[in-house]
Amino acid sequence: MERPDTYKTIKSPSEGLYKEKGSRFIACAWPAGSETEIKAILDETRRKYHDARHHSYGYVIGADSAIWRVNDDGEPSGTAGRPIIGQIRSFGLTNVLVVVSRYFGGKLLGASGLANAYKMATRSALSNAEIIDRIVTESFELKFPYSSLSTVMKILKEYNVEQAEHTFDIECIMVITIRLSLKETVLSHLSRVGNITVDKLF
């Protein structure tokens, strides 16, 4: 099965608010592409809402949504993190973190009431976000003689391959970004160019 080369995410952070029986649920949705990035956002959110009783969250990462996690942060099991990630999936999003900070209003909501509150707060934040499509790409460094430049450029132009940087001299060095679905085709064409080396960048 091929990996998808497009996915939906949010363009920038957004917030939502849900109130129930005096409790306030402040949801913050963030675009995030790595668990390192997520940890920094969680730390920032806990500082910003330091007096909140709970900071429950859920996230999904990867074009194939392969990495995900939920955390109830002290709420009854399954009442916070799952409703949060359920909304992320309902919107068809990935590379998204949603943190819901709860200020307790003095009245218990019960398990179903809590789950609904976290769900509605998350839905509010995601509804306020601008949803965008992203393309999955991979980067490669090319090295080839100047005499092959026109051939290489013709291939790159044909498949709309982006050049991140380049140096044209006796030996040309170029960093390119290829859409995942076109990678094999483009690399196959490039491999036929004389004296070219292609190295994947990580």
- Which among 61, 112, 129, 128 has a CA at the least distance from the CA of 89? 61
Strand, coil or helix: what is 6? strand
Alpha-carbon distance of 136 to 6, in angstroms, equals 6
Report the CATH superfamily, name and number, of domain 6-134.
Impact, N-terminal domain (3.30.230.30)
Q: Residue 128 burial by CB count (10 A; 0-12/13-18/19+): exposed, middle or buried?
A: middle
In this structure, are residues 198 and 144 in contact, taking their beta carbons and an 8 Å threshold? no
Topology agreement, domain 6-134 and domain 137-200: no
96 phi, psi to nearest 5 deg: -135, 135
One pLDDT digit (tens) per residue for the chain, 202 residues: 456 689 999 999 999 999 999 999 999 999 999 999 999 999 999 999 999 999 999 999 998 899 999 999 999 999 999 999 999 999 999 999 999 999 998 788 889 999 999 999 999 999 999 999 999 999 999 999 999 999 999 999 999 999 988 898 889 999 999 999 999 999 999 999 988 999 999 7
Whole-number average pLDDT of the chain: 94
- The whole-number pLDDT of residue 3 equals 64
Q: Which residues pair with 171 in a beta bridge?
A: 145
Any idea where the domains of the chain sit in the sequence?
A: 6-134, 137-200
- How much is the pTM? 0.81
Query: Which CATH number fits the domain 137-200, given the four candidates 3.40.50.261, 3.30.70.260, 3.30.930.10, 3.50.50.60?
Result: 3.30.70.260
16 phi, psi to nearest 5 deg: -145, 160
Q: Which token pair is 166?
A: 């380049």
